[in-house]
Amino acid sequence: MSNKMWGGRFSTAPDAIMEEINASIGFDQRLYAQDIAGSKAHAAMLAAQGIVAAKDAQKITKGLDTILSEIEAGKFSFRRELEDIHMNVESRLAELIGAPAGRLHTARSRNDQVATDFRLYVRDTVDALDAQLADLQRALAEKALAHAATVMPGFTHLQTAQPVTFGHHLMAYVEMMARDRSRFADARARLNECPLGSAALAGTSFPIDREATAAALGFDRPTANSLDAVSDRDFVMETLSAASICAIHLSRFAEEVVIWTSPSFALVKLSDAFTTGSSIMPQKRNPDAAELVRAKAGRIIGALTGILVVMKGLPLAYAKDMQEDKEGAFDAFSALSLVIAATAGMVRDLSPDEKRMATAAGQGYSTATDLADWLVRALNIPFREAHHITGRIVALASDRGIALHKVPLEDMQAVDKRITGDVFSVLSVVRSVRSRTSYGGTAPQRVRAQARRWLKRLGAAPDAT
């Protein structure tokens, strides 16, 4: 039996193993909406250019609309022997309208068709992810505004460093998400060129209007080189790179949630909505949502690595290797969408233990830098000298097992006689955070201003907190 897809060149059907390795319909069927949109734009252009009859283009468009409805209603039968979404749609179109369906593929190839479909899909994905990230930013900024003055320990090396506010900490992730959105936006701007009309690799001799199809599909312009257009997958790699960085940011936040909710820290709590129990230990409340957010970064980064390896040695133009560009990307984008949603849910759900946070903020001599700063201001001495004096006072407090503000004034004066009782005005965690008024600092007034600025930018109405 001859191969219906390849016509006269092949006289027998492919081996079952060949069919198995060659087919992509199991995953690329999710491109159906983009494939049909591209075909409709192509048909309209062919008719406008007089390449196909208007009546045939009308039948093609009507048939494509029917196929779209069938797929969306779950009534479409995807056939593995037809390999991919393009041939499945074309085959069904032939069943619906007959001979005019065969005119649709004039002046195009599956090479430029799939490149167009995939760009449309990635563009739609970027738009959806951007909306999700904006929602996550809103959740973070709203929580930050509510806790602009809630004191917590700030860490370096996961050791208590200086007091900060919970709001300030959350706003750090708002900034991270802003960079993520910017990277996605940059990727979107570069991918928004239309490959359709590049055909297999050399363009076409038909008098097509590539500007018309590009405009119809919402692209900024057609691609400038047909070889590059069909072989380029930079847009996938770049978007997956942005997705990987975003996943790392989400994983860092998830790790902090895991740490903060552990009994050893007990800084925040998650409700039953975002925790699970143990099959054997009835007391457990596990932060599984956070742990899975953390873990899924691996599969997203893995998808980026996968396509980088696939593309690294391919000569121009198209090669079947490039069929491996989609499955990992589909999985990665779905995973990222899920973890953004889970993170936004956790942010809205979590509640800080303000008393515990304040206590922890004062541990580990966290106001030592405030003492050193006071020495610089009050005694007009170089910071390095102040650092040395402060270190001696901290060592004294540590030897006695007492907090910094509990060291008697006379003992401080034994280290440096110029110290006065005014030093105690800077040693509380509340005064410490209030003093950090530099732009971008942790002072509550700064945090409120930044949170309100972001909420306004995100289209949310900040409250009067």
Do 427 and 409 form a contact (C-beta atoms < 8 A)? no
Q: Is the dihedral of CA 308, 313, 319, 320 positive or negative?
A: negative
Q: Which residue has the tokens 């000569």?
A: 315
Dihedral of the alpha carbons of 89, 115, 31, 331, in degrees to the nearest 10: 140
Give the angle subtended at the CA of 142 by the CAs of 136 and 148, to the nearest 5°. Answer: 125
User: Any catalytic annotation for residue 387?
Assistant: no
Residue 158, CA atoms < 13 Å, CB-side half-sphere: 6
Do 187 and 238 form a contact (C-beta atoms < 8 A)? yes
**CA end-to-end span of the chain:** 75
Residue 187 backbone dihedrals phi, psi, to 5 degrees: -60, -40
Q: Using CA atoms, how far apart are residues 416 and 410, in angstroms rounded to an integer?
A: 10
Helices vs. strands in the chain: H and E counts, helices first = 18, 6
Question: What angle in degrees, to the nearest 10, is found between the helix axes of 368-379 and 383-400?
Answer: 140
User: Any catalytic annotation for residue 388?
Assistant: no
Q: Give the burial string for 29-41 (b: 16+ CB within 10 Å, else e).
A: bebbbbbbbbbbb
The DSSP code sequence of 97-146 is H-GGGGGTTTT--HHHHHHHHHHHHHHHHHHHHHHHHHHHHHHHHHHHHH
Q: Using CA atoms, how far apart are residues 170 and 144, in angstroms rounded to an integer?
A: 6
Q: Using CA atoms, how far apart are residues 102 and 96, in angstroms rounded to an integer?
A: 12
Of 278, 351, 398, 425, the catalytic one is 278
Of 11, 77, 157, 279, the catalytic one is 157
Do 73 and 64 form a contact (C-beta atoms < 8 A)? no
Neighbours of 27 (CB within 10 A): 17
Give the angle subtended at the CA of 457 by the CAs of 454 and 459, to the nearest 5°. Answer: 110
Residue type present at position 212: A
Annotated active-site positions, please?
157, 278
